[in-house]
Amino acid sequence: MRRTHARFLPLLLLAATGWAVADPSRDDGPGREFLIGASLESSSGHIGDGGRSLSLKPVWHFQVGSVRVSRSRASTLLGTGRKSGETGVSADIFSLDDWRLSASLRMDNGRTFDDDPVWRGLPDIRTTLRARVSVRRPLDERWGWSASFDQDLLGRDGGLRLNSGVSYVYPVSERTRWDVGLSATWGNARYMQTHFGISPTGAAAVGRAPYALGGGWESLHAGWNASTALSTHWVLFGGVGISNLRGDAARSPLVSRNTTSSVTLGVAYRNRR
């Protein structure tokens, strides 16, 4: 259902820009670090009639100075004895006491209905670039709170999305940890209509009734993840996640299942400073 062609190119170009503007010779920054690996993921989607899929996904994280580029959950893997960050191209804006503010750019790969026998003919959701601002605060040694908003920058009807959640981290040992998280996502009217609505033109193309919706809660998400350092450089990781649509999003005719799940297992190599 999602577009896959050339989806990594814009992120790589943004990463190259960050690499160019960062000064790796500075001694006051975090310096260079990287992580690269792959994960096998079994998942299902909310939209359309597609069943469960199995996919092999690259995982990476590169950092020079204060600029980072990450894909998938690579940034969280650095939390096994390290730290975590945003997905996409990101940098910390500032930290004050326990508060941390960061900004990032990430690609939203859109959606196409070309392979869906029921909804073929609906207009594609175009790939776009989203800007995200996030704030994080630890509540104690194991609990944390975060909130973020992200906005479509290219005017492709991506709209605005808000997310907030809590997480709990349990360090089993110096090498192994697991964490659980619960979050909720809200979208404005443009975001919700683009992702869950059916315009009159689209309805005429597929012979269905239009479906309009305003801003509101989109989904709840719960996840459990674990990672363990196999050696100085190698990290094994995995996790399970559950997503449940809410409100008008769950009632959309496009939605074939309100609750979906994913299972991930992977391995990655990281440098150590």
Q: Give the residues of the chain that fall short of pLDDT 70.
A: 1-31, 49-50, 72, 74-76, 78-86, 272-273
pLDDT score of 52: 85
Domain that holds residue 159: 9-270
Look at strands 33-43 and 259-270 and give their pairing.
Answer: antiparallel
Q: How many domains does the chain have?
A: 1
Give residues with Cβ within 8 angstroms of 136, minimum separation 6: 99, 100, 102, 144, 145, 146
Cβ-contact 110, 120 below 8 angstroms: no
In the chain, the amino acid numbered 194 is T
2 in a structural domain: no
Query: Does residue 220 sit within a domain?
Result: yes
Question: Can you spell out the DSSP letters for 15-39?
Answer: HHHHHHHS-TT-SSS---EEEEEEE
pLDDT at residue 67 in the model: 83
Do 218 and 204 contact (CB within 8 A), yes or no? Answer: no
Q: Which are the contacts of 119, defined by CB distance < 8 A and separation ≥ 6?
A: 48, 113, 206, 254
What's 63's domain CATH number? 2.40.160.40
Structural domain includes residue 248 = yes
- DSSP H helices, 121-185, are none
